[in-house]
Amino acid sequence: MPMKLTKTDFIQYLNCPKSLWLLKNAPDEYPHGEFSVFLQKLTREGYEVERYVRLFFDKAESRAVDFQRVFETEDGLFARADAIEALGGGGTALFEIKSSTRVKTDAAHNHIKDACFQVICAERAGQTIDVVSLVHLNGNYERAGEIIPEELLVFEDVTDQVREIEAETAEEVNKALAFLGETAFDRSGCSCLHKSRANHCDSFALFNPDVPTPSIYSLPRLSQVRRTELVANGIFDLLAIPEDYPLTDKQMVVLGAARSGAPIVNLEGIKEFLEGLSFPLYFLDYETYSSAVPLLDRTSPHKHFPVQYSLHVLQEDGTLRHHDYLEREARLPHLLLAQLRADIGDEGTVVSWHASFEKTQNKEMARLFPDHADFLADLNERMADLEKVFMVDYVDARFDGSTSIKKVLPVICPELSYKGLDVQDGASAMDAWQKMVAAESEESDQIASALLGYCELDTFAMVEIYRFLVRLVG
């Protein structure tokens, strides 16, 4: 019995044949990453978009459209076409549905390639396809009452683009089927050794057991040229990089921290950052919600809006107060904003971590609520980004080349931890908020309490990191 090859398998094959071989032929060895909350959300959103495509076709009664029709071939190809339409003149159209706001053609997400695989499978199974369309979301659609499928959805005829790559894709499909049928393959080294860590899959450690931690992949923004050079010389260990090897200042700091086994600290830079802050200090963090199909009026596909904030206010005399707000209903953040206005005074620095995110939310809220635009612009003017300190002025090899608060906090304040919290990160907070607004009271209260605890830790962590820096500069 031949191995089954689906569109998802084929895309994985194109990215890395050996990771697909392992998944299919030796699933016990394959380091299955978890089906993350983020991936679960993507899957749900795919179904949600399909629901509106169905509504779109339901309105056009004369159109004969079939959803999720299966095509299978004897040599193992398997496709479940999102939608198939019998056209008036006797032809057939295939629709590939996406929850993005454009047709993607980059290496990691090539929608034309996806559609081409479906066409090849359908045609090899005996179904002629005359027209191929991609259905995606209209990024400019702004919800106003009931969703209008005709305005939400964009249909793009991509028949020519699909036919253009059909011959080469058919060849790749054949190679993928043949490769899956092989009994073994060369497991040594990964082609991804030349790529940054963001490109490594869950199997990287399995195929590259000799790459240590910390490695050259811990260096921030290492160029392709430098990475290729180091790999060609068999240098993977951060500590094996020659003394005189040309690196950027930021990379040198990470390397220096790894070499010394102690953090690299620029006291002057930290002092300068701290002197730029003025009391009271407002440690602010938003949690947001976004969805492919807009949930609320005046929102658009994939546009975020804040649903929660945590705010710790630190006075010069050390007094610390905590405020928070959690939107318990699915509505725009006008009440959140009113509360924030009451909680934040006219003086003092607003401290955030990765402040560009908070600034973007403020700009979006200013667009939604022009009455608050001056207040929100003022917040952005008064904002300082605590993360920046950890980019150059305080670097510890244990951050593993990252400046995320989730990496910095356990090193700086090991007594504080996100472990054990029901909500662990932004993606799970978004998921929890959606469940909370849909849940009955008791469950909703439990989720609310988890969300409040998570967001409070985010700002308390900033307070403690700030206090650490103050002690450090003495």
Smallest gap from Cβ 184 to ligand SF4, in A, equals: 15
190 binds ligand SF4 (CB under 6 A): yes
Nearer Cβ to ligand SF4 (207/433): 207
Quote the DSSP letter at residue 215: B
Name, in order, each residue with C-beta under 8 angstroms of 390's C-beta and a sequence gap of 6 or more.
399, 403, 408
Whose tokens are 């050794």? That residue is 193
Minimum Å gap between C-beta 69 and ligand SF4 is: 31
List the interface residues with ligand SF4, window 15-54 (CB under 6 A).
15-16, 18-19
Tell me the chain's radius of gyration from C-alpha atoms. Answer: 26
| Dihedral sign for Cα atoms in the order 292, 295, 301, 305 | negative
Do 388 and 351 touch, CB atoms closer than 8 A? Answer: no
Tell which one of 8, 40, 43, 191 touches ligand SF4 (CB under 6 A).
Answer: 191
> Which one, 16 or 457, has the nearer CB to ligand SF4?
16
Residue with Cβ nearer ligand SF4 (191 or 224): 191
Size, binding site for ligand SF4 by CB under 6 A: 12
CB of 437 to ligand SF4, least distance (A): 38
Minimum CB separation of residue 287 from ligand SF4 in Å reads: 32
Residues 6+ apart with CB under 8 A from 188: 207
Which residue type does 239 have? Answer: L
- DSSP for residue 277: -
3-state secondary structure of 51: helix
Is residue 403 part of the contact set for ligand SF4 (CB under 6 A)? Answer: no
110 versus 290: smaller Cβ distance to ligand SF4: 110
Q: What's the closest the beta carbon of residue 17 comes to ligand SF4, in angstroms? A: 8
What is the closest distance, in whole angstroms, from the C-beta atom of residue 185 to ligand SF4 in the complex?
Answer: 11
DSSP structural state of residue 3: P
Distance CA 122, CA 83 (A): 12
Bridge partners for 97 per DSSP: 135
10-18, 94-102, 248-256, 451-459 -> range binding ligand SF4 (CB under 6 A): 10-18
Q: Binding marks (x or -) toward ligand SF4, 145..184, rule CB under 6 A?
A: ----------------------------------------
277 is written with which tokens? 């802050």
From the list 330, 327, 345, the residue with the least C-alpha distance to 286 is 327
Residue labelled with tokens 């180091």: 230
Identify whether the C-beta of residue 344 lies closer than 8 Å to the C-beta of residue 281. no
Stretch of 195-203, 323-331, 340-348, 438-446 lying at the interface with ligand SF4 (CB under 6 A): 195-203
Owner of token pair 């929102």: 299
- Asked whether 381 and 276 are in contact (CB, 8 A), the reply is no
- Interface residue with ligand SF4 among 173, 192, 270, 351 (CB under 6 A) is 192
Among 41-49, 107-115, 143-151, 186-194, which window interacts with ligand SF4 (CB under 6 A)?
186-194
465 binds ligand SF4 (CB under 6 A): no
Q: In this structure, are strands 64-72 and 78-86 parallel, antiparallel, or unpaired?
A: antiparallel
- How is residue 138 annotated by DSSP? -
Single-letter residue type at 106 = D
Decide if 86 contacts 95 (C-beta within 8 A).
no
Alpha helix locations (H) across 261-333?
Answer: 267-275
Residues numbered 200-229 forming contacts with ligand SF4, rule: CB under 6 A? 200-201, 203-204, 207
> Binding string, 84-123, against ligand SF4, x = CB under 6 A?
----------------------------------------
How near is the Cβ of 22 to ligand SF4 at its closest, in Å?
A: 8
Q: Which is nearer to ligand SF4, 194 or 435 (CB)?
A: 194
Stretch that binds ligand SF4, among 34-42, 190-198, 236-244, 248-256 (CB under 6 A): 190-198
Nearest distance from C-beta of residue 120 to ligand SF4, angstroms: 23
Buried b (16+ CB within 10 A) or exposed e, 266-282: eeeebbebeeebeebbb
Stretch that binds ligand SF4, among 101-109, 198-206, 214-222, 389-397 (CB under 6 A): 198-206
Which alpha helices (DSSP H) does 16-110 contain, by range? 17-25, 37-59
Q: Choose the binding region for ligand SF4 from 13-21, 90-98, 260-268, 300-308 (rule: CB under 6 A).
A: 13-21
Provide the minimum distance between the beta carbon of 191 and ligand SF4 in the complex, in angstroms, as a whole number: 5
Contact residues for ligand SF4 (CB under 6 A)?
A: 15-16, 18-19, 190-192, 200-201, 203-204, 207
